[in-house]
A and B are shown apart, each in its own frame.
Chain A
């Protein structure tokens, strides 16, 4: 190799955009590009994306980076490694052409299918073996929905893949899926590391409908020659399959220890823990994704992260047309920071889109409780943030029954904000390390990639490139205040079960 510096390209196929970042072998960011694409909602609870657009977006971004002379002169790309959002389904025909849009994770069309299956013996067994909760987000439910509702499309389908597998297919002509992403389908047996026969049986499909599962370090795939040429990539460039965004973002915490949980809040949210075994419970509420042999990431997700905050911000700042959304969020957070913990007696139930863990009630709905005449918009914003975080805290409480973690790592753009990380630290009453780097899935992908290349001899050792972190310690009296509010929050959530059911009926008849 000449005097150019070796680097690795990480591609994170996210929900709103694909981010491509080149890192050197010490994890230093060399170049960053993003390309956004829309999510379509043909019906209110459907969410779809255009698979061809996503592929072209990636090609466009790669082209932009690799054909830029200032990059080309200095760096030589050794490997490309992939990260991606979980749970998407793209049906492909026998020629590998997509049969319509991708159905993405947030799509809720299959909720009835999931609800029915969850109650059965078979549903319980599938959860025990796949580690994925039986839920509308899971490809198992979505594929079943397609079979029942679009039989013609289902019949024409030869492969059910995720967006990442579709991109891999376009790049290489092969159908490969990494264990992590496969373990998010609800159809992958975590112990056998192969497609689960009960799940296949339920979907009335055999394993030929799915890609070949391989470990996250796999680099057998070969990018098609014309694409390598067009991108001016060396023939020896390897494509490392990588993992899912959730797993990779957790790596950026810089620790594989089971003593630390990772709390991530973006538009959604999750609490995750590493472990040598997976985590299942009778209610079927925890997810489990496999990162490496005997290394699982387990936890609980919430639908209502930053989404609920942005919703409140839009409602309260709605007349202020001069501010962009980003500025509006900043100014509202600054106002809310001036309000004391507990928002002076205001509580928010954040279930705007139903809720996954730990209540798993798609009929749950939002509420403000305790409003009085002295409450101002800033109290409402503060209460909204706190409500979102109470929900995340309740997830961590149920995980704690099985895993005793003692500290937290925070990532995701909301959790990284000082107001949010402060509340999390005091609410959880634990020392917290806050990520200082936004693109945690990309840096996690670089760790997997560099390990696959042998630059680091284990995933554990690759953690040295984890970005710097800020440390916070909890305040005892604030923690006590939050404990009181949280107990009220929990009681309200369960007390309202019947009322949630009834209001949803009214909403649906509207």
Chain B
């Protein structure tokens, strides 16, 4: 494979795929990556290592990348090479642009709005993200590149489908990474963090399960066993606990607090809050008696 790269706007080949910011193969010979210095990307980018070994710092955190590893970089992530390391190898780079604020625009992607939102949130959760040993990713990326240059019949839908497939594969692999640990407390901590950071999101049990890489039934059972709570009850407790703080420590209106915490109406908020604390949000704000 020749080192080639296609950039959106610089070639007509990509004009049918506005979501692709960049796709191509980077072949690194000794010394080249060092010249890169600091790389700051504008788009969500996958680096798929075909061969070689790379030692990079992602936002200051050292990462070692080996063949078949995928590095997922979000806009504003900073990468720079470790100047002491010898870096030789080949990488496939795939950059995906947000269009109208959407990573999965319906014009190109078959991924539904909810699933898209979920994948987007998932990709935002931790940095840096490395998927180890994603062997089945290489053929997909290589097929995308082949399809782009050959323009055979049906290539547009084919490529869009392959990009979706790559996304789903990557996110699943990341969530399996989470699951492959006996350590339920660690899994639980991850879920807890995800929920706390997105209390306004209309979570379903299904989505909560996917955060930790478990199906709905297994997830509900495990959470129940470990925490004593049904998943949605746990979430409600987090929301009400946060509400206690917001009511006392901010001057946000109760309606605003309700919406920020994912209650679908201020009545729903008020009744849930009262059920758990014994006080309506209003009287709790006044004096808590």
Interface residues in chain A, defined as those with a beta carbon under 8 Å from any beta carbon in chain B: 16-17, 33-38, 40, 50, 52-53, 55-57, 59-61, 63, 95-98, 170, 173, 224, 226-231, 313-314, 317-318, 321, 323-325, 328
Complex-state Cα separation, A52 to B226, whole angstroms: 20
Cβ A325 vs Cβ B184 within 8 A: yes
User: Is B279 engaged at the interface, CB distance under 8 Å to the other chain?
Assistant: yes
B 241-253 to A, binary, CB cutoff 8 A, 1 in contact else 0 = 1101100110000
User: Is B20 engaged at the interface, CB distance under 8 Å to the other chain?
Assistant: no
Interface residues in chain B, defined as those with a beta carbon under 8 Å from any beta carbon in chain A: 180, 182-185, 188-189, 192, 226-229, 233, 237-238, 240-242, 244-245, 248-249, 274-279, 283, 288-289
Cβ B279 vs Cβ A38 within 8 A: no
Cβ B228 vs Cβ A36 within 8 A: yes
A37, chain B: closest CB distance, angstroms: 8
Complex-state Cα separation, A228 to B289, whole angstroms: 12
Q: Which residues of A contact B229 (CB under 8 A)?
A: 35-36, 60
Cβ B237 vs Cβ A60 within 8 A: yes
Q: Which residues of B contact A98 (CB under 8 A)?
A: 245
Cβ B241 vs Cβ A63 within 8 A: no
Cβ A35 vs Cβ B227 within 8 A: yes
Q: Which residues of A contact B180 (CB under 8 A)?
A: 321
Give the contacting residue for A325; candidates B183, B233, B241, B244; CB below 8 A: B183
Q: Which 3 pairs between the two chains have the least Cβ-Cβ distance?
A: A230-B278, A227-B278, A52-B241
Closest to B283 in A: A226
User: Could you list some 7 contacts between A and B, CB below 8 A?
Assistant: A34-B228, A40-B189, A60-B237, A63-B276, A224-B278, A227-B277, A313-B182
Instruction: Name B's interface SS.
Output: helix
Q: Which residues of A contact B184 (CB under 8 A)?
A: 324-325
Give the contacting residue for A226; candidates B183, B188, B249, B278; CB below 8 A: B278
B214, chain A: closest CB distance, angstroms: 12
**A59-B277, A224-B278, A229-B278 as given contacts; A38 in contact with B185, CB under 8 Å:** yes
Complex-state Cα separation, A57 to B192, whole angstroms: 14
Complex-state Cα separation, A314 to B227, whole angstroms: 21
Cβ A173 vs Cβ B289 within 8 A: yes
Complex-state Cα separation, A40 to B190, whole angstroms: 10
Q: Which residues of B contact A38 (CB under 8 A)?
A: 185, 188-189, 192
Cβ B182 vs Cβ A314 within 8 A: yes
A140, chain B: closest CB distance, angstroms: 27
Give the contacting residue for A50; candidates B241, B248, B278; CB below 8 A: B241
Cβ A224 vs Cβ B289 within 8 A: yes
**A224-B278, A226-B279 as given contacts; A53 in contact with B238, CB under 8 Å:** yes
Q: Which residues of B contact A96 (CB under 8 A)?
A: 288
